[in-house]
């Protein structure tokens, strides 16, 4: 399969590096300044450099506000029956169709841990997509982590709010947690190790268990113990639940605005 990747910033470059390790496709990258194009990958700076070459799939990996200008020049290089894949948050398949006409379109919403093969990918296909398009997109997604297909495009924006933007929430929670550890007297390096290893261990334990998260929490919470005291402060008046719910709703609202 021949794929044209338009744009190669942080996310596009991270996913490309994982895809190159699969040996399932051949890539050409179109990016004006090279972006994060790995060594050995064919790179062009404009559609004119492609001549009459056509591709089985075109992946648009630029920021949503750049798509209207960046995508149209390359559409002549999508083979008949080829699939357009977008990894841009919030830019709907209907809007893509308005921009470039009727084509099989898949929206693939990744998150940053794709760069280490631990990403979460939400996928939606429009009505023109066939099994071969879905299979190809699934293979690409699974090369970077998990693949979650949805039949309602609105759920892609919901996945964006939960997982696509979620790495940012986790990094900020970890930063705040580490700052609190420093305030307790630990140096920066020790606080970072304590927090990241605690988070990693707890998350891996949860992944390996089929118990509800609430049960796992209760299992480490002794009556009148230190964990109960800490959780009492963290969960007081439902403030944690409200904060996280408002965080996700704000991201989802912004995804809707970008449609």
User: According to CATH, where is 3.40.50.720 located in the chain?
Assistant: 2-161
- 85, 108 Cβ separation under 8 angstroms: yes
Please give the pLDDT value at position 70.
94
Candidate CATH numbers 3.40.228.10, 3.40.50.720, 3.40.190.10, 2.120.10.30; the one for domain 2-161: 3.40.50.720
Q: Report the alpha-carbon distance of residue 106 to residue 56 in Å, rounded.
A: 13
Topology of the domain comprising 166-257: ProC C-terminal domain-like fold (1.10.3730)
pTM of the model: 0.84
Please give the pLDDT value at position 12.
86
- pLDDT tens string 82-132: 999 999 888 899 999 999 999 999 999 999 999 899 999 999 999 999 999
pLDDT beyond 70 at 160:
yes
User: According to CATH, where is 1.10.3730.10 located in the chain?
Assistant: 166-257
Compute the radius of gyration of the chain from its Cα atoms.
Answer: 21
pLDDT tier at 23, thresholds 50, 70, 90: low
Q: Report the alpha-carbon distance of residue 112 to residue 251 in Å, rounded.
A: 16
Cβ contacts of 171 within 8 Å, gap of 6 or more: none
Please give the pLDDT value at position 133.
96
- pLDDT tens string 210-239: 999 999 999 999 999 999 999 999 999 999
């Amino acid at each position: 399969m021949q794929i044209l990747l338009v744009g190669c910033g942080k996310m596009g470059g991270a996913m490309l590096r994982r895809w190159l390790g699969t040996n399932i496709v051949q890539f050409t990258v179109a990016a004006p300044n090279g972006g994060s194009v790995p060594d050995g990958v064919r790179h062009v700076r404009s559609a004119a450099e492609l001549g009459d070459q056509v591709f089985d799939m075109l992946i648009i990996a630029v920021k949503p506000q750049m798509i209207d200008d960046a995508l149209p020049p390359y559409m002549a290089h999508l083979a008949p029956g080829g699939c357009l894949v977008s990894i841009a948050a919030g830019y709907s398949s209907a809007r893509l169709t308005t921009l470039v006409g009727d084509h099989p379109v898949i929206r693939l919403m990744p998150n940053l841990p794709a760069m280490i093969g631990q990403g979460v990918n939400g996928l939606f296909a429009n009505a023109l997509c066939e099994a071969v398009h879905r299979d190809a997109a699934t293979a690409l997604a699974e090369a970077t982590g998990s693949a979650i297909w949805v039949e309602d495009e609105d759920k892609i924006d919901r996945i964006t709010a939960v997982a696509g933007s979620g790495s940012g929430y986790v990094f900020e929670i970890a930063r705040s947690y580490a700052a609190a550890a420093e305030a307790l007297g630990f140096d920066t390096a020790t606080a970072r190790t304590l927090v990241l290893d605690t988070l990693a261990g707890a998350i891996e334990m949860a992944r390996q268990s089929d118990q509800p998260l609430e049960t796992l929490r209760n299992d480490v919470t002794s009556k009148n113990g230190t964990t109960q005291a800490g959780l009492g402060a963290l969960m007081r008046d439902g403030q944690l639940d409200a904060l996280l719910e408002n965080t996700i709703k704000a991201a989802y609202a912004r995804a809707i605005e970008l449609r």
